[in-house]
């Protein structure tokens, strides 16, 4: 095995070595068993929401305190709506199937765009993974844009360009112009009918390019989201927790969204776009503003919304896998979530308007999803305030709160085990408590600092 191939394959092989003990359980039989258990849990959870059993200790306050009644009644209604919609979303997840991959013989011309900023040696690994992918080189071009890096990123890009002179085109900005500008350069110069964007801290698996090109056989598809996994999964507790979270975010949430052609965010780590559609919206995308300030982050979700606004579908391809570096410290994790939440707030309003132009079924599902999903913020913070107030008089309330978190995390773990039978499911339970105790401040802080450009990576 060459040094290049070793750099690409090692994280993937290590991940599978960790799962070897589970292989004897990874039959269709166990998959069916897990799905039936999930359905039973959902039925039970819906029953608890209808009966109010989970909040039994709080019902006394509903009868005696007007302010508690004001919080608990809408919370119960939201819990019931959320339970019913989760059942519906689970059936969509059951329905999801990945698209067939493109064939080498008739593969479409592909342009890969890799924006890089102060990425160092990792960008060379990214380029190597693309060059080593199973895709005909005569139908492939790679643009690597150095967005004004101040470290040795450009040297690694040039090394790769010399290694693949007929494949890699290096571009260098004299100063940092932002990720959108870097992507725009690739989109405008692309010869391919499909443009694939890959972050410079990520490596793709060998079949990913053929897989992500497959859905474009359908002329209604404008963009495809790949599956994002963690490259540095073994570097600490945070990457391991994020691995479980990413698996749920892609193999459950995006898989369900894909069944009605409305994946809300095609990630920067790995996505593909129909070039003709991107060029129709690229001017508005580059000039996008919010509250009078230029949008400098959230380019992936923004572009996804622009694709949907043109009437095209956005779908998920589970077999197109990329492995990306995850934060290993709390500070960097907080920065990442702050960027994501600011982008989420800005683009969620646009999604609601765009959904009104979608076909009837995707429109109704998206409306319901957006409504129920966003109600969780006022409800959860009101319930949190109630729990804090109650815990001053009844400390055991805190234990009940932790019990409910654990109960919900176990349901998520069942979804995770359907995708990956790994002992890392334990980190999914840890993440539930970690996020509840240490990340609850991120969303309100993002809401009140939407115009801020601090803590950004570009």
The answer, yes or no, to whether residue 29 has pLDDT greater than 50, is: yes
Do 183 and 272 form a contact (C-beta atoms < 8 A)? no
For 355-365, the pLDDT digits (tens) are 999 999 999 99
298 pLDDT exceeds 60? yes
List the structure tokens of 333.
């994790």
| Confidence band for 18, pLDDT divided at 50, 70 and 90 | very low
> What band does 235 get if pLDDT is binned at 50, 70 and 90?
very high
CATH superfamily entry for domain 104-357 = Spore Coat Polysaccharide Biosynthesis Protein SpsA; Chain A (3.90.550.10)
d(CA 411, CA 84): 15
Q: Compute the distance between CA of residue 427 and CA of residue 240 in angstroms, rounded to an integer.
A: 6
Q: What is the arithmetic mean of pLDDT over 90-97?
A: 94
- Of the listed ranges 43-57, 306-320, 372-386, the one predicted with least confidence: 43-57
Q: What is the arithmetic mean of pLDDT over 301-322?
A: 97
∠ CA 240-246-251, nearest 5°, is 130
Per residue in 257-280, pLDDT (tens digit) is 999 999 999 999 999 999 999 999
Q: Confidence class of residue 35 from pLDDT cuts 50, 70 and 90?
A: confident
* pLDDT score at 283: 95
Q: Is 143 helix (H, G, I), strand (E, B) or coil?
A: strand
Q: Using pLDDT thresholds of 50, 70 and 90, give the confidence band for residue 23.
A: very low
Q: What is the pLDDT of residue 17?
A: 41
Least reliable range by pLDDT among 156-160, 194-198, 285-289, 421-425: 421-425
The pLDDT value recorded for residue 179 is 93
Average pLDDT, the chain: 86
Band (404; pLDDT cuts 50, 70, 90): confident
Q: How confident is the model at residue 33 (pLDDT cuts 50, 70, 90)?
A: confident
pTM above 0.85, yes or no: yes
Distances (CA, A) of 130 to 59, 160, 267, 375: 58, 11, 17, 41
By percentage, how much of the chain surpasses pLDDT 90?
64
- Check whether 139 has a pLDDT greater than 90: yes
Torsion angles phi and psi, residue 202, rounded to 5? -135, 155
The predicted structure's pLDDT at residue 446: 92
> Which residues contact residue 331 at a Cβ distance below 8 angstroms, ignoring those fewer than 6 apart?
none
Domain edges within the chain: 21-97+363-448, 104-357
pLDDT over 70 (residue 66)? no
Higher pLDDT, 1 or 131: 131
- Is the pLDDT at 24 greater than 60? The verdict is no
More confident residue, 424 or 17: 424
Angle at 368 between CA 362 and CA 369, to 5 degrees: 85
Residues 137-147 have a mean pLDDT of 96
Averaged pLDDT, 297-320: 96
Identify the top-confidence range among 120-134, 286-300, 404-418. 120-134
Q: What's the alpha-carbon Rg for the chain, to the nearest Å?
A: 23
Section 368-375 average pLDDT:
92
The residues, any chain, with a CB within 8 Å of residue 11's CB and separated by 6 or more, are 203, 231, 232, 233, 323
Q: How far apart are CA 253 and CA 93, in angstroms?
A: 8
pLDDT for 367: 94
Structure tokens at 418: 């359907």
- At residue 21, does pLDDT exceed 60? no
Cα–Cα distance measured from residue 6 to residue 138, given in angstroms and rounded to the nearest whole number: 24
- List residues bridging with 202 in a β-sheet: 324
Predicted confidence (pLDDT) at residue 423 exceeds the cutoff of 70: yes
Distance (Å, whole) CA 78 – CA 59: 16
| Residue 57 pLDDT exceeds 60 | no
How far apart CA 123 and CA 117 sit, in angstroms, is: 9
Q: What's the mean pLDDT in 125-153?
A: 96
| pLDDT surpasses 90 at 93 | yes
Mean per-residue pLDDT for 130-134? 96
Given a cut of 80, is residue 47 above it in pLDDT? Answer: no
Mean pLDDT check: name the lowest of 100-104, 331-335, 407-411: 407-411
What pLDDT does residue 391 have?
A: 76
The stretch 139-150 carries a mean pLDDT of 96
Calculate what percentage of the chain has a pLDDT beyond 70. 87
Per-residue confidence at 152, pLDDT binned at 50, 70, 90?
A: very high
The Cα diameter of the chain in Å comes to 76
Which of 33-37, 149-153, 421-425 tops mean pLDDT? 149-153
161-178 b/e (C-beta count within 10 Å ≥ 16 → b):
beebeebbbbbebeebbb
DSSP per position, 186-254: HHHH--SSEEEEE-TTEEE-TTHHHHHHGGGGSTTEEEEEEEEEETTTTS-HHHHHHHHHHHHIIIIII
Q: Is the pLDDT of residue 80 over 60?
A: yes
- Judge contact between 144 and 119, C-beta under 8 A: no
């Amino acid at each position: 095995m060459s040094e290049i191939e070793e750099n690409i394959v090692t994280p993937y092989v290590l991940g599978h070595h960790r799962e070897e003990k589970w292989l004897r359980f990874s039959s269709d039989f166990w998959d069916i068993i897990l799905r039936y258990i999930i359905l039973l849990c959902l039925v039970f959870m819906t029953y608890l929401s209808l009966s109010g059993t989970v909040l039994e200790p709080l019902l006394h306050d509903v009868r005696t305190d007007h302010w508690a009644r004001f919080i608990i009644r809408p919370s119960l209604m939201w819990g019931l709506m959320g339970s019913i919609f989760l059942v519906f979303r689970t059936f969509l997840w059951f329905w999801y199937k990945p698209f067939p991959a493109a064939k080498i013989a008739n593969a479409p011309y592909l342009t890969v765009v890799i924006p890089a900023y102060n990425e160092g040696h990792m960008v060379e690994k990214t380029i190597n993974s693309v060059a080593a992918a199973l895709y005909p080189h005569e139908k492939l071009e790679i643009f690597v844009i150095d967005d004004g890096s101040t470290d040795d990123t450009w040297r690694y890009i040039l090394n790769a360009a010399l290694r693949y002179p007929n494949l890699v085109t290096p571009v260098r900005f004299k100063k940092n112009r932002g990720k959108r500008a870097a992507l725009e350069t690739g989109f405008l110069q692309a010869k391919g009918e499909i443009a694939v964007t890959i972050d410079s801290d990520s490596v793709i698996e060998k079949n990913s390019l053929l897989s992500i090109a497959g859905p474009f056989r359908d002329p209604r598809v404008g963009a495809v989201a790949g599956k994002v996994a963690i490259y540095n999964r073994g570097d600490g507790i945070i990457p391991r927790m994020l691995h479980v979270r990413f698996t749920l975010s892609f193999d459950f949430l995006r898989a369900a969204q894909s069944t009605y052609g409305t994946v809300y965010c095609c990630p920067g780590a790995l996505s593909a776009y129909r070039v003709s559609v991107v060029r129709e919206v690229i001017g508005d995308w580059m000039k996008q503003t919010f509250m009078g300030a230029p949008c400098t982050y959230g380019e992936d979700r923004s572009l996804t919304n622009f694709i949907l606004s043109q009437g095209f579908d956005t779908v998920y391809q589970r077999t197109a896998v990329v492995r990306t570096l995850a934060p290993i410290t709390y500070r960097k994790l907080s920065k990442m979530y702050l960027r994501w939440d600011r982008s989420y707030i800005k683009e969620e309003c646009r999604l609601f308007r765009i959904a009104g132009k979608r076909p009837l079924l995707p429109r109704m599902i998206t409306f319901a999803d957006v409504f129920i999903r966003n109600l969780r913020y006022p409800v959860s913070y009101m319930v949190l305030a109630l729990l804090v107030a109650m815990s001053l008089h009844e400390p055991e309330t805190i234990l009940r709160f932790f019990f409910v978190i654990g109960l919900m995390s176990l349901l998520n773990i069942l979804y995770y085990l359907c995708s990956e039978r790994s002992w890392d499911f334990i980190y999914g339970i840890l993440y539930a408590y970690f996020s509840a105790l240490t990340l609850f401040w991120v969303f309100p802080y993002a809401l009140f600092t939407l115009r801020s450009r601090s803590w950004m990576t570009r």
